[in-house]
């Protein structure tokens, strides 16, 4: 296995039915103001979408990048600011932390390996990662269990909540191996396949499985199997514990539990890795969702069976591989959506199976890890998917 260079040491579910790159500590910031004019295309046809992102920055978000596509037409919108110090307009092509949309990439790689015969989705993960699970795990934990968040693995250790001590530890490192070790040491939370519980741990293990099976780094496999074929030229992973977003980007801000609004742009996410460490752009994520749903990344039979079908799980399932959740639109169409959130950045990708409607947004949300949907994000979803 190729060595990864690392230093030692839900996302909120979508509700569609509405609903200085230095290593110095970032100081607290004043509340955002004044607002910046919205840049949006075809306001006549898409007035609701243009209105949805008006008034930024505000207390809920400092910027928004939105792309809508499909047979009903395309729309692009950019609002807010690049940063709260200069109030320069937000960059339409700015890079951002894509959070748990990373899981779709990981699921796609695993399903490619299954199509190639290198991975059996019904095989016990211990066959690929010997010694991963202690004897207390008496029931098999299959690759499919990991894909569908039904493994029973408990969350691993963390560096603290993003609204509190996590901010103070944003330059510290937890490796994926450390996170997994701390998880399995706790034993299972439930018998694999009994129910779903969304989290990062299953996809962290899948990242390790990908490396073991391919004898390559997860990051390189993502680049050659997904980013390259989909034309995602501005998508990558940080170099191990690198806390920076390289290239043009809009800065992200997080409201802490003590009431401070802080610059959260620099934040080591290496512990999220194959579950949430991807950096991308709105255009690249749009390319990805079109390529994925178009059968160009995962062979169509596997795509439909594993990512566009809810699995049969004891207490019922609400999401498929990668965390895609189906939601019915008012016109009867169904879209499959995946959200992602890291401090200062909230992201969503959504598409109808026939690609008649697609939506990608990145909102620089000040409450990106809140359980409730960010108000700006909710307005975007309502405007883009209600008709």
pLDDT computed for residue 28 by the predictor: 57
**CA–CA distance, 42 with 48 (Å, rounded to integer):** 11
Q: 16-30, 272-286, 320-334, 338-352: lowest mean pLDDT where?
A: 16-30
Question: Alpha-carbon torsion 141, 143, 146, 150, what sign?
Answer: negative
pLDDT computed for residue 162 by the predictor: 87
**CA–CA distance, 358 with 32 (Å, rounded to integer):** 30
Q: Are 123 and 143 in contact (CB under 8 A)?
A: yes
pLDDT computed for residue 84 by the predictor: 97
pLDDT computed for residue 8 by the predictor: 34
3-state secondary structure the chain: CCCCCCCCCCCCCCCCCCCCCCCCCCCEECCCCCCCCCEECCCCCCHHHHHHCCCCCCCCEEEEEEEEECCCCCEEEEEEECCCCCCCECCCCCEEECHHHHHHHHHHHHHHHHHCCCCCCCCEHHHCCCCCCCCCCCCCCEHHHHHCCCCCCCCCCCCCCCCCHHHHCCCCCCCHHHHHHHHHCCCCCCCCCCCCCCCCHHHHHHHHHHHHHHCCCHHHHHHHHHHHHHCCCCCECCCCCCCCCCCCECCCEEECCCCCEEECCCCCCCCCHHHHCCEECHHHHHHHHHHHHCCCCCCHHHHHHHHCCCCCCCCCCCCCHHHCEEEECCCCCEEEEEEEEECCEEEEEEEECCCCCEEEEEEEECCCCCCCCCHHHHHHHHHHHCC
pLDDT computed for residue 30 by the predictor: 62
Full residue range of the structural domain in which residue 201 is found: 28-385
Could you tell me if residue 228 is inside a domain?
Answer: yes
Could you tell me if residue 357 is inside a domain?
Answer: yes
Asked if residue 386 has pLDDT above 90, the reply is: no
Q: Tell me, what CATH number does 217's domain have?
A: 3.40.710.10
Single pTM value for the model: 0.93
pLDDT computed for residue 31 by the predictor: 61
Cα torsion 96, 99, 103, 106 to 10°: value is 50
Q: What is the mean pLDDT of residues 135-161?
A: 96
Could you tell me if residue 274 is inside a domain?
Answer: yes
**Peptide bond before residue 57 is cis, with ω within 30 degrees of 0:** yes
Could you tell me if residue 147 is inside a domain?
Answer: yes
Antiparallel, parallel or unpaired: β 61-69 and 75-80:
antiparallel
Could you tell me which residue, 283 or 160, shows the higher pLDDT?
A: 283
Asked if residue 341 has pLDDT above 50, the reply is: yes
Could you tell me which residue, 88 or 163, shows the higher pLDDT?
A: 88
pLDDT computed for residue 153 by the predictor: 98
**CA–CA distance, 97 with 249 (Å, rounded to integer):** 10
Asked if residue 18 has pLDDT above 60, the reply is: no
Could you tell me if residue 66 is inside a domain?
Answer: yes
Asked if residue 123 has pLDDT above 90, the reply is: yes
Could you tell me if residue 21 is inside a domain?
Answer: no
- Backbone φ, ψ for residue 232 (5° rounding): -85, 80
What are the tokens at 263? 């610059």
How close are the terminal C-alpha atoms of the chain, in Å? Answer: 49
Q: Which residues contact 313 (CB under 8 A, 6 or more apart)?
A: 148, 150, 193, 194, 195, 196
Q: How confident is the model at residue 20 (pLDDT cuts 50, 70, 90)?
A: very low
What are the tokens at 67? 């792309």
The string of pLDDT tens digits covering residues 22-60 is: 333 444 566 666 889 999 999 988 999 999 999 999 999
Cβ neighbours around 308 below 10 Å, total: 19
Q: How confident is the model at residue 80 (pLDDT cuts 50, 70, 90)?
A: very high
Asked if residue 377 has pLDDT above 70, the reply is: yes
**CA–CA distance, 197 with 248 (Å, rounded to integer):** 36
pLDDT computed for residue 35 by the predictor: 84
Q: What is the mean pLDDT of residues 321-349?
A: 96
pLDDT computed for residue 6 by the predictor: 39
pLDDT computed for residue 34 by the predictor: 80
Q: What is the mean pLDDT of residues 151-157?
A: 97
pLDDT computed for residue 91 by the predictor: 98
Could you tell me if residue 16 is inside a domain?
Answer: no
pLDDT computed for residue 22 by the predictor: 31
**CA–CA distance, 343 with 59 (Å, rounded to integer):** 15
Could you tell me if residue 117 is inside a domain?
Answer: yes
pLDDT computed for residue 5 by the predictor: 40
Q: 3-12, 126-135, 149-158, 284-293: lowest mean pLDDT where?
A: 3-12
Query: What total of structural domains would you count in the chain?
Result: 1
pLDDT computed for residue 25 by the predictor: 41
**Average pLDDT over all residues of the chain:** 91
């Amino acid at each position: 296995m190729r060595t990864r260079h690392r230093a030692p040491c839900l996302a909120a579910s979508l509700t569609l039915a509405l609903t200085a790159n230095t290593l110095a500590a970032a100081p607290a910031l004043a509340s955002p103001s004044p607002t910046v004019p919205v840049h949006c295309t075809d306001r006549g046809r898409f007035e609701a979408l243009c209105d949805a992102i008006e008034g930024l920055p505000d207390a809920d978000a400092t910027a928004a990048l939105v792309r809508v596509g499909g047979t009903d037409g395309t729309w692009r919108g950019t609002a807010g600011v690049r940063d709260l110090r200069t109030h320069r307009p937000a960059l339409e092509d700015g890079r951002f932390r894509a959070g748990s949309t990373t899981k779709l990439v990981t699921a796609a790689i695993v399903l490619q390996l299954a199509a190639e015969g290198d991975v059996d989705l019904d095989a016990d993960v211990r066959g690929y990662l010997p010694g991963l699970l202690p004897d207390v795990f008496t029931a098999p934990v299959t690759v499919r269990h990991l894909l569908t968040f039904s493994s029973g693995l408990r969350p691993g250790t963390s560096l603290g909540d993003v609204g509190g001590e996590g901010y103070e530890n944003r330059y510290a490192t937890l490796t994926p191996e450390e996170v997994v070790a701390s998880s399995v040491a706790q034993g299972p939370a439930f018998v694999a396949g009994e129910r779903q519980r969304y989290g990062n741990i299953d996809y962290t293990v899948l990242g390790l499985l990908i490396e073991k099976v391919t004898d390559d780094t997860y990051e390189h496999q993502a680049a050659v199997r997904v980013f390259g074929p989909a034309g995602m030229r501005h998508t990558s992973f940080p170099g191990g514990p690198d806390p920076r977003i390289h290239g043009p980007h809009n800065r992200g801000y997080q409201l802490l539990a003590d009431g401070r609004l802080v610059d959260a742009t620099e934040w080591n996410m290496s512990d999220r890795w194959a579950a949430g460490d991807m950096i991308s752009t709105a255009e690249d994520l749009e390319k990805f969702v079109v390529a994925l749903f178009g059968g160009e990344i995962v062979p169509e039979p596997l795509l439909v069976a594993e990512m566009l079908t809810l699995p049969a799980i004891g207490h019922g399932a609400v999401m498929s591989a990668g965390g895609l959740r189906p939601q019915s639109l008012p016109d009867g169409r169904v879209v499959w959506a995946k959200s992602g959130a890291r401090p200062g950045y909230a992201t969503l990708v959504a598409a109808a199976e026939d690609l008649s409607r697609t939506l990608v947004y990145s909102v620089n949300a000040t409450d990106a890890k809140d359980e409730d949907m960010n108000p700006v994000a909710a307005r975007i979803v309502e405007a883009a998917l209600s008709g």
